[in-house]
Chains A and B, each alone.
Chain A
């Protein structure tokens, strides 16, 4: 029965010999395990299935509405201004389905998908009680938080790219494809158009990663995952509502959701880089501030779950 202790000693000694390699490997192993835990969980796989389903439905819906052309009403009361600018382009080019899908899913579906994973990240562990065991392993509080946030970022990238790729495939199948006529009227080659699809997708990834940081911070304050998830959703909806009220215009640029749809700047020539940088700066600041809040809270509080 004492074989465990004996078998382990050489392994432990060897690990200490190669400090930097072992350090990287040990952290990578934890990160990969966390990714497995998130991506193999049935609930999360269902969420991704929903993310696949939406661009598909939007594509089919727009195809059915296409003969009557005026796609504005096809948005079902979606973003009436700004985002809707490219709805009419779909009939001309399937590539536009990616932009339509992203702007529609940004209203609710992507935020929900982010809220579930990020709100659950720490609160879920606390709820199961696994948090105390992870910390006594010891996983390290800062290390655990870092692994949690990196996983949230990977999740954001995955969900966003699923939307883009599925929308692109559906668009290519259902609609004509060719050189892309941008919102500003200029036409670029299909290749250049696809590069813009990639840049738009990356921009949305950044927006969702910033939302994930907010979710992570909220998650460190409770042991009820559902409460954290709801709080993130309320925050998103509140921000979107305030953003629509003209009287709040002065604070609008500071709202977490304000810059989400600004990716349409990438669909014009010349590209309005000022808006894009404002957006990315906003995401960066939100991510940094909320990661800091999460860290301060998580490393100083008692774990009582």
Chain B
């Protein structure tokens, strides 16, 4: 176990975590570092290895190589000692369809050897209330709507006091109303100081709630850091609209701008450290007729797509 993989300052840490299925790498040497108290968005298209990673973190699957730790405890060895402090939702809710919501939570609660039976009713009642399912507590799970099922799964994750909550695609299949509810719950959980690790294939979903993001692509962690750090990776571009593209290109070359692209009446380049005002002055000085000048930073969405590839890229 390497030093950083067991650091108590990190809620989740992994080092070279790898999972191979039948010769194919599902997760390829990823080094996760989720600080305590963070809301960490684990992003990536479907099939990029997010769920497999989460299964390894939770001790459901064993890594082919590499190490992982939760709250400073190595996994999967520490399963029984650390998982009672971790709530999780993995690949959608799963309950016994023939039991009521209450009985379903009682089932998971009874399986927890560290929970006392005396306070079980209070625990279950509070967890249901928290996700707004008190009225449906006695209803059979098979009659729950998709949103209710999802909320019941979150309630199960909140049965005990947690230090870390891992949510795998918590809004999958939910309508906008349900999505908003889940987002509000995530905010609420985070406000209590609980570390939240939430996976999604939609950037928009985590952008509003996350402090940190990790981006997966074909089993590799291609970016990890805070949201401002992710924004900074996007290079701003300057665009000049002019009739004299060739002359403008000469000025750009002189100023050392890279990655220039010419259009019929416009020219763009990576801005880098250059001052847009200076570029404008230089253009005018060189006698280039400037019709318009703009500087644009890529949106998070564009950065995300840049990292993960377009939706229909066949990576495998």
A and B part of one assembly: yes
Binding site for B on A (CB under 8 A): 1-5, 7-9, 11-12, 14-15, 22-23, 25-27, 29-30, 32-33, 37, 41-42, 128-130, 132-140, 143-144, 300, 302-304
Apart from A33-B107, A128-B97, A300-B62, 19 more pairs, CB < 8 Å = A4-B126, A4-B161, A5-B161, A8-B123, A11-B115, A11-B119, A12-B161, A22-B113, A23-B113, A30-B113, A33-B106, A130-B94, A130-B96, A133-B156, A135-B58, A135-B79, A136-B86, A140-B79, A303-B55
What is the 8 Å Cβ interface bit string for chain B, positions 93-125, against chain A (1 contact, 0 not)? 011111100000011101111111111001100
Q: A5-B161, A137-B84, A138-B80 are in contact. Are A27 and B90 (CB under 8 A)?
A: no
A140 touching B61, Cβ below 8 Å: no
What is the 8 Å Cβ interface bit string for chain B, positions 142-181, against chain A (1 contact, 0 not)? 0000000000000010101100000000000000000000
Q: Does B295 belong to the interface (CB within 8 Å)?
A: no
A302 touching B98, Cβ below 8 Å: no
B119 touching A7, Cβ below 8 Å: yes
Interface size class of B (residues with CB under 8 A): 35 or more
A128 touching B61, Cβ below 8 Å: no
Cα–Cα, bound, A134→B130 (Å): 21
Closest approach, in angstroms, between the C-beta of A136 and any C-beta of chain B? 5
Query: B113: which A residues are within 8 A, CB to CB?
Result: 22-23, 26-27, 30, 139-140, 143
Cα–Cα, bound, A276→B55 (Å): 48
Q: Does B88 belong to the interface (CB within 8 Å)?
A: yes
B114 touching A33, Cβ below 8 Å: no
Closest approach, in angstroms, between the C-beta of A299 and any C-beta of chain B? 10
Cα–Cα, bound, A193→B309 (Å): 79
Q: A138-B79, A303-B55, A303-B60 are in contact. Are A33 and B90 (CB under 8 A)?
A: no
| B110 CB contact (under 8 Å) in A1, A12, A33, A130 | A33
Cα–Cα, bound, A258→B88 (Å): 47
Closest approach, in angstroms, between the C-beta of B9 and any C-beta of chain A? 21
Q: Does B188 belong to the interface (CB within 8 Å)?
A: yes
Binding site for A on B (CB under 8 A): 55, 58-62, 79-80, 83-84, 86, 88, 90-92, 94-99, 106-108, 110-119, 122-123, 126-127, 130, 156, 158, 160-161, 188, 192
A26 touching B122, Cβ below 8 Å: no
Q: A128-B94, A133-B156 are in contact. Are A7 and B114 (CB under 8 A)?
A: no
Question: Which of chain A's residues has its CB closest to B84's CB?
Answer: A138
A302 touching B94, Cβ below 8 Å: no
B58 touching A4, Cβ below 8 Å: no
Query: A22: which B residues are within 8 A, CB to CB?
Result: 113, 116
Q: A14-B116, A26-B114 are in contact. Are A1 and B130 (CB under 8 A)?
A: yes
B158 touching A135, Cβ below 8 Å: no
Question: Which of chain A's residues has its CB closest to B61's CB?
Answer: A302
Query: A8: which B residues are within 8 A, CB to CB?
Result: 119, 123, 160-161
Query: B111: which A residues are within 8 A, CB to CB?
Result: 30, 33, 134, 137, 139, 144
A30 touching B98, Cβ below 8 Å: no
B117 touching A25, Cβ below 8 Å: yes
Query: A132: which B residues are within 8 A, CB to CB?
Result: 55, 58, 60, 90-91, 94
| A137 CB contact (under 8 Å) in B112, B123, B127, B130 | B112
A1 touching B108, Cβ below 8 Å: no
A129 touching B117, Cβ below 8 Å: no
* For the complex of A and B, 10 pairs with smallest distance between CB atoms: A129-B94, A33-B110, A26-B113, A5-B161, A138-B83, A302-B61, A139-B111, A303-B60, A137-B111, A8-B161
Query: B117: which A residues are within 8 A, CB to CB?
Result: 25, 29
